[in-house]
């Protein structure tokens, strides 16, 4: 198989998956991927997933890649909070939640970290677009609640204050009623109590 045919078929793919290559070209030989890596045409992300080496590494590429390499996941936690401008710190890993087991991958475009949530909590995300490709991103309300839930050592107002949330931005992009509605699904008194504190702070902001 010639590289030009491969390039034409997958040039617009942010992530190239071996399964899709083999589906498009049934007689494809995997050794071609090694040859093209040696020529610096493509780069392995993890096993079975590749990217174009001339594609700029951006936050959007990292988010899209995170969705692709670990299915049934969406961007949340620190990555979503930073994306929405809700925390002051930069985030150098890509954080997601998933119905699969907690896992992390070291990749050439950064570390991908996935935290397990039960299937009943897999909701509250929206589709953002990057080069007409879908990125599953937690809604701001859900990103906050996922963060509360997956940090069980957070117990009181001081822990929330330590987040240094940008309250004016939160009030602008999130709804207290949705936080309260979503919090009930966690069936966790600690999350409920902390979410009530957040709602109170939003009211006072």
C-beta separation of 76 from 142 below 8 A: yes
Q: What is the secondary structure of 83-140 as a DSSP string?
A: HTT-SSS---SEEEEESS--EEEEETTEEEEEEE--GGG---EEEEEETTEEEEEE-H
Mean pLDDT score, 89-93: 91
pLDDT in tens, 18-49: 999 999 999 999 999 999 999 999 999 999 99
Pick the CATH number of 59-204 from 3.30.160, 3.30.460, 3.40.50, 1.10.3470: 3.30.460
Let me know: does 66 contact 51? Beta carbons within 8 Å. Answer: no
What share of the chain in percent tops pLDDT 90?
97
How confident is the model at residue 101, as a pLDDT?
97
pLDDT digits (tens, 9 = 90+) for 115-146: 999 999 999 999 999 999 999 999 999 999 99
Tokens, residue 191: 């999350």
Identify the pLDDT of residue 13: 93
Average pLDDT value for residue range 156-185:
97
pLDDT of residue 73: 98
Q: Pick from 125, 128, 124, 73: which is nearest to 96 by CA?
A: 73
**Confidence class of residue 171 from pLDDT cuts 50, 70 and 90?**
very high
pLDDT of residue 199: 97
Q: Where are the domains of the chain?
A: 3-52, 59-204
Confidence band of 205 (pLDDT split at 50, 70, 90): confident
Count CA atoms within 13 Å of residue 77 on its CB side.
Answer: 20
Mean pLDDT across the stretch 84-95? Answer: 94
pLDDT in tens, 3-12: 999 999 999 9
Residue 90 in this model has a pLDDT that exceeds 90: no
Return mean pLDDT, the chain: 96
**pLDDT tier, 1 (very low <50, low <70, confident <90, very high otherwise):** confident
Overall average pLDDT of the 187-196 stretch: 97
Helix (H, G, I), strand (E, B) or coil at 164: coil
């Amino acid at each position: 198989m010639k590289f030009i045919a491969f390039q034409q078929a997958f040039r617009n793919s942010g992530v190239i998956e071996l399964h899709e290559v083999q589906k498009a070209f049934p007689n494809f030989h995997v050794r071609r991927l090694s040859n093209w890596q040696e020529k610096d045409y493509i780069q392995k992300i993890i096993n079975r997933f590749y990217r174009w080496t001339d594609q700029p590494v951006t936050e959007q590429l990292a988010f899209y890649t995170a969705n692709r390499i670990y299915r049934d996941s969406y961007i949340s936690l620190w990555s979503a909070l930073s994306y929405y401008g809700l925390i002051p710190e930069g985030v150098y890993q890509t954080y997601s939640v998933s119905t699969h087991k907690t896992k992390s991958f070291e990749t050439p475009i950064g570390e991908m970290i996935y935290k397990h949530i039960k299937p009943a909590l897999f909701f509250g995300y929206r589709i953002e677009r990057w080069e007409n490709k879908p990125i599953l991103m937690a809604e701001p309300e859900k990103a906050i609640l996922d963060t509360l839930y997956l940090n069980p050592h957070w117990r009181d107002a001081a822990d929330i204050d330590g987040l240094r949330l940008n309250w004016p931005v939160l009030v602008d992009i999130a709804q207290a009623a949705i936080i309260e509605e979503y919090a009930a699904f966690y069936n966790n008194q600690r999350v409920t109590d902390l979410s009530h504190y957040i709602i109170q702070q939003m009211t006072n902001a």
